[in-house]
Amino acid sequence: MAPHALLNTEAPTNITLKDQNDQDVNIADHIGKSILVLFFYPKDGTFVCSKEACAFRDRLEDIQKLGAQVMGVSADSVKSHEQFANKQKLPYTLLADTEGELRTAYKVSKLLFGFPQRTTYVIGKDGIITNVFESFFSYNYHITNVLKALQKDSKVETESVEQEEDKQAES
């Protein structure tokens, strides 16, 4: 499979959507503060989508320790997101992309019965998309690969800080 068209490019950010609390959220406001894990899923309340959302919930502390925040995106309404977040006890933001604006900007493909592909993006503090994971049926694929990518990025960042400290100590 060819790499995703947006891999290693600047993330589309000038889009504002409503979250599950009916508040405006602009992706641009979250770039630069931390790494952003943005996962697109087909539909609130379906079996695999619920499993995926709960997997991100259950590993959220690990994700945050690695310097990232999580946002979920689907075409569902604000009300649907509110109910889904409450039922599944999701502590992170869910964005209502009812018109498909964000999905189109992120080039999320459509698959079965017109549902969007289950796609997860890891966006660095610099706004560059560093990783893209696509798997329609496997929710575990997303959380597993996000954690691996964040751990790898964290190790690289730690090593470069240590190298800089070593250089300063030698001076």
Catalytic residues: 49
CA dist., res. 134 & res. 18, Å (int): 24
In the sheet with 24-26, reading across from the earlier edge strand, the strands are 24-26, 16-19, 93-96, 68-74, 35-40, 119-123, 129-134
The SS3 call for residue 82 is helix
Cβ atoms 84, 166 nearer than 8 A: no
Contacts of 159 (CB under 8 A, 6+ apart): none
Alpha-carbon 85 to chain mean position: 16
CA dist., res. 36 & res. 31, Å (int): 7
Burial of 28 (0-12, 13-18, 19+ CB in 10 A): middle
